[in-house]
Amino acid sequence: MAKKKEKGLAKRLFIDKLMAQKEIAETVYVTEKTVSNWVIAGNWRQLRDAKLNNSQSRTENIKKVIAELTNMTLQTLEEIKIAEANGDQARLLDLKKETTRISQEVAMYQKALERLEKEFKISLSTYLEVMEDVFEALMKWDKKVYLKTIDFQKSHLQHIAEKLG
């Protein structure tokens, strides 16, 4: 029977490191079937998917695409200068069409980014409510730990209030 520590490590490797089940089995010295059972029983696939598709990851991916499109625009503008200098009107027309296409694509991604940021923005009151529940649960679970975190709680909530408020 596999130990709790091995299962915990396997879960982190599957969700956070995106490792394959076979590789995880070799790493934690259990069978591939054991890892498969853990994945199914613990809904690890759903957890990994949720982590990969969270708003922060999606926002970062869209920003990377916008940056890449911006680089493409800069390269195309340099090519336009060359085409103008060479008097190549056909090439110039193609390049201008390309910059228009890229601009439209950037605008589309920018709108998607704005929608995503608006959709996933959490209100300060909602955040505070959730954190109060977490801190209350911590107090019920271990009062000593709760008391040790009072300064952290105040500091954290102040930071979030400044960020969201």
**Tens digits of per-residue pLDDT, 2-42?**
588 999 999 999 998 889 999 999 999 999 999 999 999 99
State whether 159 and 146 are in the same domain.
yes
Q: How far apart are CA 151 and CA 113, in angstroms?
A: 35
In a 13 Å sphere around the CA of 1, the CA atoms on its Cβ side amount to: 2
State whether 128 and 151 are in the same domain.
yes
State whether 104 and 62 are in the same domain.
yes
Q: How far apart are CA 139 and CA 136, in angstroms?
A: 5
Residue 155, pLDDT score: 94
Q: pLDDT, tens digit, for every residue of 133-154?
A: 999 999 999 999 999 999 999 9
Mean pLDDT, the chain, integer: 91
State whether 146 and 115 are in the same domain.
no
Count of domains for the chain: 3
Residue range 101-119: average pLDDT?
89
State whether 60 and 113 are in the same domain.
yes
In a 13 Å sphere around the CA of 120, the CA atoms on its Cβ side amount to: 13
What is the extent of the structural domain holding 78? 54-120
| Both structure tokens of 149 | 């975190």
